[in-house]
């Protein structure tokens, strides 16, 4: 399947990359009057380069909800430069100014066309006074969403529709993802895991049909022979920062809901998360194979940052047993515990399910329905233990902050998720 790394940069920056310097393109300086984006200056925002401190790397994840209801609609919306939602999410990125960012729910378009349009018409154009930001490098690859399986995967007696696709979606590539970077992407070493089969995960928690005596038999043998683990894809995108390589491990596991007592989505979410826990742990990744036939996971000592909307809260919501703790409890990585004041305020104002939560709302990253499940921590930036974390946060301004217009309340002007970032120092 095609993978795209779209390079658009000046000769000076390209020459630096070819010489091995790994120099990133300089962003336009932030104007002196810019409002502080939800406390980002607390982590040492550098107005002349990016959102990170000098010598550090700001890595972010953002489910920006730029998915559309029909194929081709995202390209149409991004072609004009006037789409209100695209302008709003672009401004969020401009305010946070990450060096590397994963965008979830960004429809896949072959050749990186949509990613190119978003950069040209939105990110590289000032939005409401925010400084433009340039990402010379992008990684785009296919998603399992919307690809017909040919089987009745939800066992409702009919074949067809989003629920019977390899990942939920009404057209191929819906809810896809993109990695944007100011630093060179090592395309030859990038790996995708779109086609790794769920059944090939040792000890997979496959769903069971309670109406039969056989265990773990919700899916037939024929279905398991083609059903991938990943509802979208899992990507290992190596980014060259100076003389160091940092592996950006990107994914977007399926929500653990929209199913029945068999909990097929909850179990798949659990195992999609487990894949990265195995991939970064020596001795546990022997079963792993990528879409090019390569075997195994990361080597000991390789640096990484796990990013994405993982649809799993440590304490609340509908996750299958301990899903996100497979990462949070790993000795191979550290949790920066990003916070925001806006999440605390929203939880108190909205009430509902939020009042019964066990987790501290300061860590929430998603503004979900007040009835159920309430606001949750769903989005993560988790660096390997060898990377020093010097700051982290969630772009969720309080209502009195002028920038709260970018996050808003339902119906959201941008997304029901918030951009999450961490500033790290390479080893």
- Cβ(28)–Cβ(133) under 8 Å? yes
Q: State which residues form the domain around 98.
A: 4-425
CA distance 54 to 425: 10
Q: How far is CA 311 from CA 1, 35, 63, 293, 375, in A?
A: 26, 31, 11, 29, 11
335-383 pLDDT, tens digit per residue, is 999 999 999 999 999 999 999 999 999 999 999 999 999 999 999 999 9
Angle at 181 between CA 175 and CA 184, to 5 degrees: 130
Residue 7, pLDDT > 90, answer: no
User: What percentage of the chain carries pLDDT values higher than 70?
Assistant: 87
Long-range contacts of 254-260 (CB under 8 A, 24+ apart): 254/167, 254/168, 254/311, 255/311, 256/311, 256/312, 256/317, 256/318, 256/319, 256/320, 256/323, 257/318, 258/163, 258/168, 259/154
CA distance 318 to 369: 13
pLDDT at 18: 26
Number of domains present in the structure of the chain:
1
- Cβ(307)–Cβ(59) under 8 Å? yes
Q: Where are the beta strands (DSSP E) in 107-243?
A: 137-140, 177-181, 191-192, 235-241
- Reported confidence tier of residue 46, pLDDT bands at 50, 70, 90: very low
Strand partners, 246: 239, 303
pLDDT at 4: 53
State the average pLDDT over residues 409-424: 97
238-249 pLDDT, tens digit per residue, is 999 999 999 999
pLDDT at 55: 76
- Reported confidence tier of residue 53, pLDDT bands at 50, 70, 90: low
Residue 51, pLDDT > 50, answer: yes
List all residues 6 or more positions away from 268 whose beta carbon is below 8 Å from its beta carbon: 198, 229, 231, 253, 254
pLDDT at 311: 98
List all residues 6 or more positions away from 49 whose beta carbon is below 8 Å from its beta carbon: 24, 26, 27
- Reported confidence tier of residue 5, pLDDT bands at 50, 70, 90: low
Q: Output the domain CATH number for residue 359.
A: 3.60.10.10
105-146 pLDDT, tens digit per residue, is 999 999 999 999 999 999 999 999 999 999 999 999 999 999
Instruction: Decide: helix, strand or coil at residue 6.
Output: strand
Residue 58, pLDDT > 50, answer: yes
CA distance 347 to 364: 9
pLDDT at 52: 58
- Reported confidence tier of residue 426, pLDDT bands at 50, 70, 90: confident
Q: Tokens 């909307």 correspond to what residue?
A: 309
- Reported confidence tier of residue 214, pLDDT bands at 50, 70, 90: very high
| Tokens linked to 37 | 């984006």
């Amino acid at each position: 399947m095609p993978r795209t790394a779209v390079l658009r940069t000046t000769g000076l920056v390209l020459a630096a990359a070819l010489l091995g310097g790994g120099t990133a393109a300089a962003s336009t300086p932030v104007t002196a009057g810019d409002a502080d984006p939800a406390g980002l200056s607390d982590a040492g925002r550098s107005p002349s380069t990016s959102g990170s401190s000098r010598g550090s790397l700001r890595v972010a994840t953002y489910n920006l909800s730029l998915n559309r209801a029909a194929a081709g609609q995202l390209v149409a919306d991004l072609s004009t430069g006037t789409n209100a939602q695209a302008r709003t999410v672009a401004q969020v990125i401009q305010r946070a100014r990450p060096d590397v960012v994963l965008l979830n729910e960004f429809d896949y378009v072959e050749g990186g066309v949509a990613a190119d349009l978003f950069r040209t018409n939105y990110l590289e154009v000032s939005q409401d006074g925010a400084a433009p930001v340039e990402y010379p490098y992008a990684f785009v690859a296919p998603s399992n969403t919307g690809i017909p399986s040919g089987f009745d995967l939800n066992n409702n007696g009919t074949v067809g529709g989003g629920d019977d696709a390899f990942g939920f979606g009404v057209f191929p590539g819906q809810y896809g993802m993109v990695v944007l970077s100011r630093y060179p992407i090592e395309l030859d070493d990038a790996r995708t895991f779109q086609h790794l089969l769920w059944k090939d995960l040792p000890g997979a928690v496959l769903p069971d049909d309670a109406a039969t005596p056989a265990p773990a038999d919700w899916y037939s043998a024929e279905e398991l022979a083609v059903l991938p683990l990943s509802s979208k894809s899992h990507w290992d995108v190596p980014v060259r920062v100076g003389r160091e390589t940092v592996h950006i491990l990107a994914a977007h596991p399926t929500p653990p809901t929209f199913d029945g007592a068999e909990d097929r989505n909850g179990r798949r979410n659990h195992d999609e998360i487990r894949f990265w826990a195995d991939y970064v742990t020596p001795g546990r990744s022997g079963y792993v194979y990528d879409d090019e036939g390569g075997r195994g996971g990361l080597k000991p000592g390789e640096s990484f940052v796990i990013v994405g909307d993982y649809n799993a809260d440590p304490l609340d919501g509908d996750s299958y047993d301990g899903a996100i703790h497979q990462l949070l409890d790993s000795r191979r990585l550290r949790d920066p515990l990003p916070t925001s004041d806006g999440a605390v305020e929203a939880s108190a104002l909205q009430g509902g399910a939020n009042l019964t939560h066990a987790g501290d709302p300061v860590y929430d990253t998603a503004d979900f329905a007040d009835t159920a499940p309430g606001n949750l921590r769903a989005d993560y930036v988790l660096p390997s233990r060898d990377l020093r974390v010097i700051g982290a946060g969630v772009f969720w301004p309080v209502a009195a902050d002028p920038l709260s217009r970018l996050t808003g309340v339902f119906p959201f002007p941008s997304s029901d998720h918030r951009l999450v970032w961490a500033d790290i120092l390479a080893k």
